[in-house]
Every structure is written in C-alpha cells, then in structure tokens.
Homo-oligomer: A and B are copies of this chain.
Amino acid sequence: MDESKYVKVNKRDNVAIALNDIPKGTQLAPGVIARHDIPQAHKITLEPIAENGAVIRYGVTLGYVKRDTPAGSWINEDSLVLPVPPALDEMEWGCDIATDLPEPVASTWEGYPAADDGFAGTRNILAIHTTVQCVTGVVNVAVDRIRRELLPSYPHVDDVVPINHAYGCGVAINAPEAKVPIRALRNLLRHPNFGGQTMIVGLGCEKLTVEMLLADQPELNCADNVIILQEHRGFEAMIEAILSMARQKLERLERRRRESLPISKLLVGLQCGGSDAFSGVSANPSAGYAADMLVAAGGTVLFSEVTEVRDGVYLLARRCVSKSVADRLAEEMRWYDTYLELGGVDRSANPTPGNKKGGLSNIVEKAMGSIAKSGTSPIVEVLSPAERPREHGLIYAATPASDIVCGPCQLASGIGVQVFMTGRGTPYGLAAAPVLKLCSRNEMKEQWFDIIDINAGPVATGEKTIAEMGTMVFRKIIEVASGRDQPYSERYGLHNDLCIFNPAPIT
C-alpha cells in the first residue's frame, strides 16, 4: 500500500484522505485503483461499499452511500446521505476520562494579574464599551483622536478598542433570548485585558441602559466611568468628555506590568474556520495536543461551535466529569436544535462551499475534525454563549460555529489568546485579544506565508508527529500570551467587527 499518497485516521475507516491530487488510474493498494481524479484532501474508498452502506472516517459513520461504490471511488457531498443526529437523552457520561495528558514543557507565563484574582490579561488595552450601536459614530471619531493624540504618551498601553456592537436598542430587550447578547456585553466589561478600567459611552434613551449593563457591578455606574451623550451640550463637548475620561483611564493602565504567573491564570480559546479535510488530521489534533498540555499545566481551555460537535456529542458526553456537566451539554445542544428549527434549518446548514471543496462532505465529517481540537482532556464545565468559566480545565463553551460570532462569545468568556485552525484560510482577528493561526496543509502556508503563524501541514505529510506539532503550538501560545510574540493578525491590525450573538428579534 502506498501510504505516502493518503491518510487513514482510524483502523476501522473504509475511506482515506488524498494527501495530494490523485490522478485517475493511480494504484493505491492491491485492488484499489483511483476510479476518478481525486482532489487533494478528498476522500477515496479503500474497499467496496454496498448501497446504503456506511462510509467510515475517524471510526464513525459519516453517512451512507446512495449506490454501490467500488474501491477507489471519490466520495463527496453528493455521494452521501446524512445520518440522523445522535440522541441527546440518556447519553453515557464519564466513561472516557483521560488521565495520561502530555507533560507540560512550561509551567509559567508572563501576564497582567487580574484584580479579582481570576484569569490574567495577555494585553493592556483601553476598552471603550458602548450600550448601543447609536453611539458608534461618535465613539469612532473619539477613538481616532485618542490613537493619534493620547496613545503615544502611554507606551505601556497596547491599544484603544471600541466595543461597538449592533445591539442595545431597536431590539426586543425582554425577549427570552435577549439574555445572550446582554450577558456578552456585561462579561466583555470584565475582560482581563482591560485592566479593570471601566469606560462606558451610552446614548441616554436606549433599551440597554447603563443600569442594565452594570446590573452585576452597580458600583461602577458613576461619572468617573460613564458618559451619556444626550447629557452633553454638542458634539465637541462629547468628544472632549470621551478624551478626558480616556486620559484618566490611560494613566492607570500605564502602570500595569506583566508578572510571572502560573498557567492556571491563562484562559485560551480554540476555534476553527475555513476548514478542510486535513483540519481533522493535522491542525485540530495538534491544537488538541496543546490543549491537553495546557490542561495538564493547570490551564483552562475553551472549545466551542455547537453545530460542529452536535454529531459527535456522545463522544464528548463520555468525557464529561459528572452527570450535571453532561446534562448541561445536552441542554445546550437542545437549545440550538430548537433555534435552528425555528429558522427552518438544521445542523446540515453548517458546511460551507469552501469546506466541501476542501473535502469535507458533510457536517458529520466536519464535526469529527472539529472535535479533534479538544484533545483528550476531561470536560469539567459547559458554558452558555458568552458565560464566564467557574472551573479550570477543558471547558465546552456552546457558541455558534460562525467564526465572527464564536470569537466575541469566547472573548466575553475572558480568553486571553485564541488559537484559530484553518484549512482554506481566513484573515480573521479580534481587536481585544491576539489570535494565533494554525493551518492544516503546507500549500496553505505557502500561499499565506505572512498570515499563517504555524503550519501543521507536516503532520499530514508524516514529517512531524502530532506531539511535536502540539508542543510547538503550546510554546507559541505561551509566547503570544506573554507578549513576547505577536501573531500576524495582531501585527497588521486585522480585526473583525464584534458580532455579538443575538438570537432574539429586532423590533
């Protein structure tokens, strides 16, 4: 068998992934000759599969073939019937609790300690929070001036970031699901990168009042921290008020210094986007290895993306440390099933044309690759979107899979670094925390040599082991978190808008 041409992940698999384009007629194994041109990253059958037979990758059923399929066939989204999603009732839990996590290669990092003794900051940022989108124009004009006129005098402050969002008014503020965006905005106020300096710009007539935003920190609602535009006489007065408050906050942020901290003070988020069939072979398992090492070192890691774990949820339930954690997992899955159903769709709406071009035939295959980023650690907690963790260890944060929505949710949970795995490539970034990019294929790194931070392609080609690559990822996380290294997206200032998840209606 010519194993330099393909990757088979699990010994039960009856399909493999083409390492490069495989021309029709290529002999892959005795009796296995490519019957079509197989594009790189796509699946090829290693044995005949009868009509309605299961296509198996990662040891699980991706779907069922529509017709008799000989060995050497190309399997793509058109070949497969999607299986029903796994049941959520009475999932087995706690029967797959790993204890053999990798030995950490570092035990400390350099961060900004949080006043509340929680997770520490990885950057020193002046955040200007907003209650409502209405104030965005004024805040942006002020932020431009702060960047040009004030920031240069505060060399220890990394940036000023407006927390602009589409929420706050013109929404059904009492809708049951309004709690999601409101929680996100409340928890963003507490992000450790903002150094406990609170600065809020409100309008004055919005539904999301400052009182509501600060419901769990009412002591912060005072003139030192809050500017209401309707209370100011004219535009220049508004801008001057914002600049003046920014100066006060910058003075205090300027005094922050990094300290050597245990890894228990580090909160790392993981997500993938623009995935391909190698994502589950190289980039995601390497991130998963790094996650295991972080957990072994006492660190805390979030992974997310509900529609991308839905088909493997029973595998995650087995890793939950208690029935209550497994029950929370099922509850979040049920919520999302209903949310999609109300919109007239289901989990099959997740995969993108790019995923399919990249060889990911359906959501089951995408999910199995996506879950690989969680490594093997026990799951100690499940969070609703944008909740803050209470535990330490591996945590499932149930956010949408959408990169630009998952990002702000994890940011609201308090992540100091996000590791982002990609197969097709996206220039995604967050303004308030560094995003480190890990690609699945050598070709991706060649194409975006100055955007991709780490290339996990050598794992796919067998040049590096997952342990070697995962250790590199772990070290890079520590360097970036400690401010000794900047990912490309941070260097260039590539930032996405802060797209807050709002499952409630607009009025």
CB within 8 Å of B: which residues of A? 133-138, 140-141, 164, 166, 169-177, 203-207, 209, 229-230, 233-236, 238, 273-274, 307, 339-340, 342-345, 347, 349-350, 352-355, 357-358, 400-406, 424-429, 447-451, 488-489, 492-497, 499, 501, 503-507
Contacts and interface: CB of A to CB of B under 8 A. Distances in A.
Given A170-B273, A347-B507, 7 more contacts: A137-B427, A137-B495, A141-B494, A164-B497, A166-B405, A307-B507, A340-B505
In the complex, the count of this chain's copies comes to: 2
A349 B141 contact: no
Contact of A134 (B134, B401, B426): B426
Q: Which of A135, A203, A342 has the most CB of B within 10 A?
A: A203
Contacts of A342: 342, 505
Contacts of A349: 171-175, 505, 507
A493 B176 contact: no
Given A203-B426, A353-B206, A400 B506 contact: yes
27 contacts: A134-B426, A134-B496, A137-B494, A137-B496, A141-B492, A164-B497, A166-B166, A166-B404, A166-B497, A166-B499, A170-B405, A171-B402, A172-B345, A175-B343, A177-B344, A203-B426, A205-B355, A205-B424, A205-B425, A234-B448, A234-B449, A234-B450, A345-B505, A349-B505, A400-B506, A401-B507, A402-B506
Contact of A343 (B177, B233, B493): B177
Contacts of A426: 134, 203, 205
Contacts of A174: 345, 349
A450 B404 CA distance: 36
Contacts of A402: 169-171, 506-507
8 closest cross-chain pairs (CB), A and B: A205-B354, A170-B402, A137-B494, A343-B505, A172-B349, A205-B424, A172-B345, A166-B499
A424 B204 contact: yes
A205 to B, nearest CB: 2
B230 A425 contact: yes
B138 A427 contact: yes
Nearest to A209: B353
A345 B177 CA distance: 10
Nearest to A494: B137
Contact of A340 (B172, B173, B230, B424): B172
Q: Which of A133, A170, A174, A238 has the most CB of B within 10 A?
A: A170
